[in-house]
A and B are shown apart, each in its own frame.
Chain A
Amino acid sequence: MENNNHLLEYCLRLADTSLILGQRLGEWCGHGPILEEDIALTNIALDCIGQARGFYTYVAEVEGINKTEDDYAYLRDEREFRNLLIVEQANGDFGQTILRQFFVSVFQFYFFAELKNSKDKTIAALTEKSLKEVTYHLRHSSAWVIRLGDGTEESKRRMMNAVDELWSYTGDMFDMDATDEALIKEGIAVDTKKIKPLWEAKVKEVFAEATLVVPENIFMMSGSREGKHTEYFGYILAEMQSLHRSHPGAQW
């Protein structure tokens, strides 16, 4: 039973991270700086929401009390969400959205590459599928980080601001707690200690090409695993859940 709770918690974290990133990217719909990027960001959002749906469906199966994916997305409050802190951060300008995407995509790329070997067959299948999509997201965001970082004075200044804005939320991606530890023992979860050096090396490599400086000795925020959030999160939920809460059971 205890391990079932850990599994539930673990999958909820994966689902919530994809959902909130998808929601944030979806805010760009109709607001992209150019049509191609409007389409790109919303396509990535669609992948994220698709990934979230797969994980929520599995969460519902594990929990086994006849909940649906909508119950998790629309009827939980702030402290019940377990998404990584970085995905709820403000979109800012296009550069900041791209940098957030890049940090998350690098993480997901290495994390999913490990998690697809999970002993939990459903997690392995959902992750293997997601990894293909994440690979494309990573390719896209890396190219933009380089283009904007090594671009004009203006684009570089904006990317440097974005680094300052987001860097302290990157540490939270690698935090682990009892849930991670219990599931690592079972061969279900990923040990993020193994992911961290890979993430750092990739960020360093792309930043070098983008002529951006990797910050050092920055205090890292944490708390996503306990459902702690930043100020932005309540506003995201308000927008995302208002329709469903005003019209309970509303279907598309």
Chain B
Amino acid sequence: MVAVQSSISNLKSLIGEITDPEVPVITIAELGILREVKDENGKIVVTITPTYSGCPAMKAIENEIAEVLKANSIESFEVKYTYSPAWTTDWLNDNAKEKLRAYGIAPPEKTSSDKSVLSIHAKEKTCPRCKSTNTEMISAFGSTACKALYRCKNCREPFDYFKCH
């Protein structure tokens, strides 16, 4: 039993190291996409949750999970989806946010419970390159469902903003 426990936690950390296909600097564990790994009568059940309902990266993540399991000689497994609790950017810790910033994506600045995120007048975001707050939104929707597009008026560079969700 102890051996089973340790192999499950080992599997969980291996699966957790899979990086997001769209944002390859952070892992699915850091994003909170990976919810649970457990042994159900010899079958490994991996539960993941989508960031956005239609996130097209989910299929790629599912395939990568299957690869990791097969590489560890596990043939009996299932990848399940869960929608509750609903994914939120509040699950990103400071370390993950710093990785996003270093990659050139401004991390979410507020918590999802902050009502100002509902305002149609977007707040200014901090440029991930030069740290200026003299920025403006170019597009509320960006290259993926989880991002919006901004421009820094100081260093003149455009940048992605990871939307608070």
A interface residues (Cβ-Cβ under 8 A, vs B): 22, 35-36, 39-40, 43-44, 46-51, 53-54, 121-122, 124-126, 128-130, 132-133, 135-136, 139-140, 142-143, 146
Cα distance, A121 to B163, chains bound together (Å): 27
Q: State the majority secondary structure of interface residues on B.
A: loop
Ordered by A's residue number, 20 sampled pairs between the chains whose C-beta atoms are within 8 Å are A35-B139, A39-B141, A40-B140, A43-B145, A44-B141, A47-B145, A48-B54, A50-B53, A51-B53, A51-B54, A53-B54, A125-B83, A128-B83, A129-B50, A129-B53, A132-B165, A135-B118, A136-B163, A139-B118, A140-B140
- Residues of chain B within 8 A of A51, CB atoms compared: 53-54
Please give the number of chain B residues whose Cβ is less than 8 angstroms from any Cβ of chain A in the complex. Answer: 26
Across the two chains, which residue of chain B brings its CB closest to A58? B83
B interface residues (Cβ-Cβ under 8 A, vs A): 50, 52-56, 82-84, 86-88, 112, 118-120, 138-143, 145, 149, 163, 165
- Given A50-B53, A143-B120, verify A125-B86 contact (CB < 8 Å): yes
| Given A36-B139, A53-B53, A136-B163, 6 extra CB contacts under 8 A | A36-B138, A46-B54, A50-B50, A54-B53, A132-B88, A140-B140
Instruction: Identify B141's interface contact among A43, A53, A54, A143, CB under 8 A.
Output: A43
Q: State the majority secondary structure of interface residues on A.
A: helix
Instruction: Identify B84's interface contact among A49, A121, A133, CB under 8 A.
Output: A121
- Residues of chain A within 8 A of B112, CB atoms compared: 132
Cα distance, A136 to B139, chains bound together (Å): 13
Number of A-B pairs whose CB atoms are under 8 Å? 77
Cβ–Cβ contact A124 & B84, under 8 A: yes
Cβ–Cβ contact A125 & B84, under 8 A: yes
Cα distance, A143 to B139, chains bound together (Å): 12
Instruction: Identify A40's interface contact among B83, B88, B139, CB under 8 A.
Output: B139
- Residues of chain B within 8 A of A43, CB atoms compared: 141, 145
